[in-house]
Amino acid sequence: MAQPPSLRDSLPGLGRLLRRFWPYVRRERRLVTASLVALYAEIGLRLLEPWPLKVVLDRILAPSTAHGHAGSGLHLLRDVDPATLLMLSALAVIGFAGLRALAAYYNTVGFALVGNRVLTAVRSELYSHLQRLSLSFHTRAKSGDLIVRVIGDVGFLQDVTVTAFLPLLANALTLVGIAAVMLWLNAPLTLLALATGPLFWVCTTRLSRRIRDTARRQRQQEGAMAATAAESIGAVKVIHALSLEGSFARVFTGQSRKNLATGAYATRLAAGLERTVDLLIAVATALTLWFGARLVLRGAMTPGDLVVFLAYLRNAFHPVRDFAKYTGRLAKASAAGERVLDVLDRTPDVRDLPGAVPAPAFRGAVRFDRVSFAYEPGRPVLEEIDCEILPGHHVALVGPSGSGKSTLVSLILRLYDPTAGRVLIDGRDIRDYALASLRPQISVVLQDSLLFATTIRDNIAYGASGGPSPPPAEAVEAAAGLANAHAFVAALPQGYDTVVGERGVTLSHGQRQRIAIARAAIRRAPIVVLDEPTTGLDKENEWAVIEALERLVAGCTTFLITHDLRLAARADLILYLDAGTVRERGTHAALLRANGRYAALYRMQADAPVRYDAVTA
């Protein structure tokens, strides 16, 4: 099978990326046009640069050899005296170089700006896209690797586009101009020089392919290292508690060493390719010099022509040498581009359907209409759940661990869509509503609420995000008051402006829960989801949290997942789930009368001296 051209073959990621981001490039078209003009000016001036040398050689130093040579193109300067000609040539050297420098400056800066702007837009799009991707993607992806994609891969692309790809493109364009002038100067000699092309091809293709594969491996290893680092730093508490520091350090060091070995191999390959290219360039130059000198001796060419020819040849080899020099980085950028596109080309599983309408203010009637769900095909987690909850009613979801309680409530938030059946709010399938109008109408408090590394005020205010403007300070404090948080927040030295650490580690679990309740309260949502909000709290905090929760859910349709049946007992409806189906349903009194599993569990908890989360687990 024919081998694809190595440059094109090396850049599929960049090519795809360029196609994908063409609209962003088009937005910069004025800058692109100006940079292209500067680039063409630079190329023109580069072509002119060797000519003063030829003038000096053929008209001043060795005029006898130049007589009558058709290709010299110097007849216009026939009547100029040698001293003036020398002066003009010297000035031309400076003039051409100066103008070329100016043109090069403008096109370098121009293209760099275009590259940076486009890739900044790429990074923003990648970030927003990642945020929109469904939980099914995020639960499988490694956060460290994703961070490397957003920061590292895009940064690498940015760097390589500006420092390698664009210069290479400019040089490749120059090559076309140079080849044309060389053919005009001396066609046979040009063909001789070009005849070495296949030799380059054979020698570089295999090496570039190996470099590319190595670069791709290197980028993947870097992603894996970042994933390990992110995982261990994120779980530092558990790692300390289980004394896993050594194990994680060993894994990371192992990955790091592997990456070092791959990097060293890539460097050896790239250095080998560069030296091979240097040698081939020397062979091509020697051949040209040998034949060229013989042509000059035969009078078929002037010495000036030969000097210009050799200068062009050197320029013509620029792109080839650059390609050898940059091939490793370009390959790595290509791999980075593929990793970026891999994320961008994913469509979120849960997204607005065509024709989705903004949801009206909900009354809070929720219905599960024969809902089934599976995270993985063939392994159902929920089966045929059928139930209706009236506005303002409280539902408690109880049952053994893994029975599907959290999964069921995640369907109300459309974190996932059911595999069969429908979830309806106020009589309409929630897939008919635009996501941006559905989720703000549901408040959530989880078992271990995550706080962001910002002030307590902002953490509470995040609950109201999606609203027209940030909530006023009074609203934040009122929400904190409702959540039994105001007193302890006000007692902090910086009050609401206290910055909580990453994951809120400077606050106790109970305090974090109360901030989370305040965050849910400021949302003023008609539907509230509470996923084991009191688990793991001490008695004092537990009652503060329960009291806050009662205020939060007053008048709201509420889903409470709990292992504590004392809390469940207060609900209007209790659903006892087991293995993804509703086994028992009814009020606390009715379920006790039915004397089924719920009743047995309740009696066990009531008789026990301690709480029974563990028993139900």
In angstroms, give the least distance from the CB of 351 to ligand ATP: 18
Q: Hey, which residues between 444 and 503 contact ligand ATP (CB under 6 A)?
A: none
Of 262 and 406, nearer to ligand ATP (C-beta) is 406
In angstroms, give the least distance from the CB of 536 to ligand ATP: 13
Dihedral sign, CA of 143, 146, 150, 152? positive
In angstroms, give the least distance from the CB of 394 to ligand ATP: 18
Verify binding: residue 534, ligand ATP, rule CB under 6 A: no
Among 403, 443, 558, 562, binds ligand ATP (CB under 6 A): 403
In angstroms, give the least distance from the CB of 380 to ligand ATP: 9
Tokens of 377: 């095909």
Verify binding: residue 533, ligand ATP, rule CB under 6 A: no
Of 409 and 424, nearer to ligand ATP (C-beta) is 409
Of 189 and 575, nearer to ligand ATP (C-beta) is 575
Spatial distance between the Cα atoms of 122 and 73, rounded to a whole number of angstroms = 50
Verify binding: residue 381, ligand ATP, rule CB under 6 A: yes
DSSP sequence for 301-337: S-HHHHHHHHHHHHHHHHHHHHHHHHHHHHHHHHHHH
At CA 46, angle to CA 43 and CA 48, rounded to 5?
115
Spatial distance between the Cα atoms of 556 and 496, rounded to a whole number of angstroms = 27
Dihedral sign, CA of 424, 425, 427, 432? negative
Verify binding: residue 120, ligand ATP, rule CB under 6 A: no
In angstroms, give the least distance from the CB of 573 to ligand ATP: 17
Residues in the interface with ligand ATP (CB under 6 A) total 10
Q: Which stretch, 82-90, 123-131, 399-407, 541-549, contacts ligand ATP (CB under 6 A)?
A: 399-407
Q: Hey, which residues between 53 and 112 contact ligand ATP (CB under 6 A)?
A: none
Of 153 and 564, nearer to ligand ATP (C-beta) is 564
Of 45 and 382, nearer to ligand ATP (C-beta) is 382
Verify binding: residue 568, ligand ATP, rule CB under 6 A: no
Of 10 and 407, nearer to ligand ATP (C-beta) is 407
Verify binding: residue 612, ligand ATP, rule CB under 6 A: no
DSSP state of 472: P
State which H helix or E strand residue 586 sits in: strand 581-586
Verify binding: residue 375, ligand ATP, rule CB under 6 A: yes
In angstroms, give the least distance from the CB of 542 to ligand ATP: 18
State which H helix or E strand residue 376 sits in: strand 366-376
Q: In the chain, what is the straight-line distance between the N-terminal and C-terminal CA atoms, in Å? A: 60
Among 186, 255, 334, 406, binds ligand ATP (CB under 6 A): 406
Verify binding: residue 218, ligand ATP, rule CB under 6 A: no
Q: Hey, which residues between 314 and 373 contact ligand ATP (CB under 6 A)?
A: none
Q: Which stretch, 43-51, 200-208, 402-410, 419-427, contacts ligand ATP (CB under 6 A)?
A: 402-410
Verify binding: residue 404, ligand ATP, rule CB under 6 A: yes
Q: Which stretch, 269-277, 403-411, 417-425, 467-475, contacts ligand ATP (CB under 6 A)?
A: 403-411
DSSP state of 58: I
Cβ–Cβ < 8 Å for 219, 148: no
Q: 596 to each of 585, 590, 601, how far by Cα in Å?
A: 10, 10, 9
Verify binding: residue 128, ligand ATP, rule CB under 6 A: no
In angstroms, give the least distance from the CB of 580 to ligand ATP: 7
State which H helix or E strand residue 581 sits in: strand 581-586
Phi then psi dihedrals of residue 127, to 5 deg = -65, -50
Verify binding: residue 588, ligand ATP, rule CB under 6 A: no
Q: Which stretch, 116-124, 320-328, 395-403, 589-597, contacts ligand ATP (CB under 6 A)?
A: 395-403
538-554 per-residue burial string, b: 16 or more CB within 10 A, e: under 16: eeebbebbbebbeebbe
Instruction: Please report where in the chains the tokens 């000198």 appear, as a residue.
Output: 293
Verify binding: residue 401, ligand ATP, rule CB under 6 A: yes
Phi then psi dihedrals of residue 214, to 5 deg = -65, -40
User: Which stretches of 345-467 are DSSP H helices?
Assistant: 405-412, 435-438, 456-461
Among 407, 484, 513, 562, binds ligand ATP (CB under 6 A): 407
317 bridge partner residues:
none
In angstroms, give the least distance from the CB of 610 to ligand ATP: 18
Among 128, 139, 243, 469, binds ligand ATP (CB under 6 A): 139
Cβ–Cβ < 8 Å for 130, 343: yes
Of 407 and 558, nearer to ligand ATP (C-beta) is 407
In angstroms, give the least distance from the CB of 375 to ligand ATP: 3
Verify binding: residue 44, ligand ATP, rule CB under 6 A: no
Of 131 and 139, nearer to ligand ATP (C-beta) is 139
State which H helix or E strand residue 266 sits in: helix 245-297
In angstroms, give the least distance from the CB of 406 to ligand ATP: 3
Residues 6+ apart with CB under 8 A from 587: 571, 572, 573, 574
In angstroms, give the least distance from the CB of 517 to ligand ATP: 19
Q: Does residue 570 sit in helix, strand or coil?
A: coil
Of 339 and 405, nearer to ligand ATP (C-beta) is 405
Q: Which stretch, 62-70, 154-162, 404-412, 605-613, contacts ligand ATP (CB under 6 A)?
A: 404-412
In angstroms, give the least distance from the CB of 35 to ligand ATP: 48
CB neighbours (10 Å) of residue 604?
13
In angstroms, give the least distance from the CB of 567 to ligand ATP: 14
SS (H, E, C) 9-49: HHCHHHHHHHHHCHHHHHHCHHHHHHHHHHHHHHHHHHHHC
In angstroms, give the least distance from the CB of 588 to ligand ATP: 19
Of 213 and 448, nearer to ligand ATP (C-beta) is 448
Q: Which stretch, 26-34, 330-338, 400-408, 602-610, contacts ligand ATP (CB under 6 A)?
A: 400-408
Residue 134's nearest CA partner among 356, 413, 385 is 413
Verify binding: residue 526, ligand ATP, rule CB under 6 A: no
Q: How many residues does this entry show for the chain? A: 617
Counts for the chain of helices (H) and strands (E), in that order: 27, 10
Q: Hey, which residues between 174 and 213 contact ligand ATP (CB under 6 A)?
A: none
Cβ–Cβ < 8 Å for 154, 342: no
Binding site for ligand ATP (CB under 6 A): 139, 375, 381, 401-407
